[in-house]
């Protein structure tokens, strides 16, 4: 019996089973199979922290690779454009030049079937012009072989790379207009992406297909827990699966941590028991404190923290008027910090005049760790 936990309780790593994302992934697959330049080939994925954006990008890349497409996986950090023109695209070009027989690997990627031994001159040039000419040279070759290139961009909302993101979007837009075999998928936090779209000159991103990742349904969360446990040789009763799933609040990160901690209570035992689940959930929530809550709070200013501390007294949602009263501040002050925290992805409006935390158990964390604030 395998005693190793199948769960992947860390950001950006693929879970043993991806659940609840068929809608977006089916559309990505359809767009790849559809005509070049179609709107569906540009996807903008948003969702709260830990909801599974990076995993959706990984899965989209896998769909592209299955179709023998090349993939360039990037994150919007400083130097994005330079990285693409000096490393990313030249490495893909090298890959295409290699003879199909030798099959070596460049940074872990292998050549799609039927490609290789291609003569390809990639202009050594930087900046948006260089990017455009390099992408043209690559797609000319890929088009002849009936494949293409998928570019993914994670953390698209990052302010540090805003100019580069705008320039990349413009280059991809050109490629779309020229019906080149290019697909583009980007992911980021909802309000920050909204901010980017409002500020950005690029209409391309604004026109991309939008997918908002929601928390998993109880059925999906149960499946994400039950299937890996049973496939890895252990038993678990439906009641225990339901308890774990409820504790996740549909939050994919918690699915992985809770599954992992419940598994690790007694990895050699044939069954995950109610006791394992109870202790596992408790440990997982404590773990979320380090991995989720502390970093989220650390990112905030002193005044932001006072604001969320004022929310922590409430169970599910906080009335803006209560927050105002607790802070002893005027309406203008409160609405300014309200907007800041929404863009930071920490709170969201639950209905008119009310706010709630986007991160599960954050209110509990703030109540228990008042010292932390």
> 20 vs 289, which CB is nearer to ligand ATP?
20
- List contacts with ligand ATP (CB under 6 A): 8-13, 15, 18-21, 47, 49-55, 224, 252-253, 255-256
Q: Taking the complex as a whole, how short is the minimal distance between the CB of residue 221 and ligand ATP, in angstroms?
A: 8
> 38 vs 75, which CB is nearer to Mg ion?
75
H or E segment at 212? strand 209-212
134 near Mg ion, rule: CB under 5 A: no
> 14 vs 335, which CB is nearer to Mg ion?
14
> 30 vs 214, which CB is nearer to ligand ATP?
214
Instruction: Provide the token pair at 215.
Output: 């928390």
**Which of ligand ATP, Mg ion, none binds 333 (CB below 5-8 Å, type-dependent)?**
none
Q: Taking the complex as a whole, how short is the minimal distance between the CB of residue 190 and ligand ATP, in angstroms?
A: 10
User: What does the alpha-carbon distance between residue 41 and residue 30 come to, in Å, rounded to a whole number?
Assistant: 9
**Which of ligand ATP, Mg ion, none binds 250 (CB below 5-8 Å, type-dependent)?**
none
318 near Mg ion, rule: CB under 5 A: no
Q: What is the CA radius of gyration of the chain?
A: 23
User: What does the alpha-carbon distance between residue 108 and residue 27 come to, in Å, rounded to a whole number?
Assistant: 27
Q: Taking the complex as a whole, how short is the minimal distance between the CB of residue 11 and ligand ATP, in angstroms?
A: 4
Neighbouring residues of 311: CB distance < 8 A, sequence distance ≥ 6: 318, 323, 347, 355, 357, 363, 366
**Which of ligand ATP, Mg ion, none binds 13 (CB below 5-8 Å, type-dependent)?**
ligand ATP
335 in the Ramachandran plot: left (φ > 0), alpha (ψ -120 to 50) or beta? alpha
Neighbouring residues of 157: CB distance < 8 A, sequence distance ≥ 6: 76, 188, 189, 192, 193, 195, 196
Footprint of Mg ion on residues 4-63 (CB under 5 A)? 53-54
Where does this chain bind Mg ion (CB under 5 A)?
Answer: 53-54
């Amino acid at each position: 019996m395998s005693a190793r936990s199948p769960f992947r309780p860390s950001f950006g790593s693929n879970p043993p089973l991806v659940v609840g994302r068929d809608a977006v992934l089916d559309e990505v697959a359809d767009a790849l199979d559809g005509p070049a330049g179609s709107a569906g080939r540009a996807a903008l994925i948003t969702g709260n922290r830990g909801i599974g954006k990076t995993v959706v990008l990984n899965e989209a890349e896998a769909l592209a690779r299955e179709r023998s497409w090349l993939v360039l996986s990037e994150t919007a950090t400083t130097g994005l454009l330079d990285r693409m023109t000096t490393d990313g695209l030249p490495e893909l070009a090298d890959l295409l030049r290699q003879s199909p027989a030798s099959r070596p690997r460049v940074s872990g990627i292998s050549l799609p079937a039927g490609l290789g031994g291609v003569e390809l001159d990639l202009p050594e040039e930087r900046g948006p012009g260089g990017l455009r000419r390099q992408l043209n040279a690559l797609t000319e070759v890929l088009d002849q072989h009936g494949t293409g290139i998928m570019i993914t961009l994670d953390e698209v909302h990052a302010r540090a790379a805003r100019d580069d993101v705008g320039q990349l979007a413009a280059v991809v837009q050109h490629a779309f207009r020229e019906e080149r075999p290019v697909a583009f998928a980007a992911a980021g936090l909802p309000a920050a992406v909204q901010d980017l779209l409002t500020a950005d000159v690029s209409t391309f991103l604004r026109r991309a297909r939008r997918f908002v990742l929601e928390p998993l349904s109880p059925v999906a969360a149960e499946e994400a827990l039950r299937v890996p446990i049973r496939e890895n040789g252990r038993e678990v009763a439906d009641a225990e699966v339901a308890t774990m799933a409820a504790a996740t609040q549909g939050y994919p990160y918690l699915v992985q941590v809770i599954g992992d901690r419940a598994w690790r209570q007694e990895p050699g035992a044939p069954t995950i028991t109610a006791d394992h689940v109870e202790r596992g959930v408790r440990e997982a929530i404590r773990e979320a404190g380090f991995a989720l809550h502390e970093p989220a709070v650390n990112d905030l200013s002193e005044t932001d923290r006072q604001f969320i501390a004022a929310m922590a007294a409430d169970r599910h949602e906080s009335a803006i008027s209560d927050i105002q009263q607790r802070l002893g501040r005027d309406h203008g002050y409160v609405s300014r910090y309200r907007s800041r925290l929404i863009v930071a992805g920490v709170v969201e409006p639950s209905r008119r005049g009310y706010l709630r935390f986007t991160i599960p158990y954050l209110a509990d964390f703030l109540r228990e760790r008042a010292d932390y604030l």
